[in-house]
Homo-oligomer: A and B are copies of this chain.
Amino acid sequence: MLFHVTMDIKVPLDYDPVRFEGLKAAEKARFQELQRAGTWRHIWRVVGQYSNVSIFDVESNAQLHDVLTTLPLYPFMDVKVTALCRHPSSIHDDDR
């Protein structure tokens, strides 16, 4: 099942930059693992923001909750989740 997720990241001005770089590296590794598995199906950057727009393809609501709330940068995120479904006019069988 498909979900539209936006993640807005806010880092306090005085947060330790070394510690944050470590979290970013862990986030990237986890993201690529989920991308390879087909769970994190799409990701785009929002121009001018520390934000992304993503499409997730999951088995269940519970799986999506687990994936999102265990992301290394989750404590810095404002997350919005919107349930999607296939559009009947689409000519792409695989438009997920």
Contact = CB atoms under 8 A, between A and B. Distances in A.
Interface of A: 1-5, 11-13, 15, 28, 31-32, 35-36, 42-50, 52-53, 55, 60-62, 64-65, 68-69, 75-76, 79-92, 95
A80 to B, nearest CB: 8
A54 to B, nearest CB: 9
| Majority DSSP secondary structure for residues of A touching B | mixed
Nearest to A35: B91
15 contacts: A3-B47, A4-B46, A13-B15, A32-B89, A32-B91, A36-B91, A44-B85, A45-B87, A47-B65, A48-B65, A48-B83, A49-B81, A61-B83, A81-B82, A83-B83
A33 to B, nearest CB: 10
Contacts of A50: 69
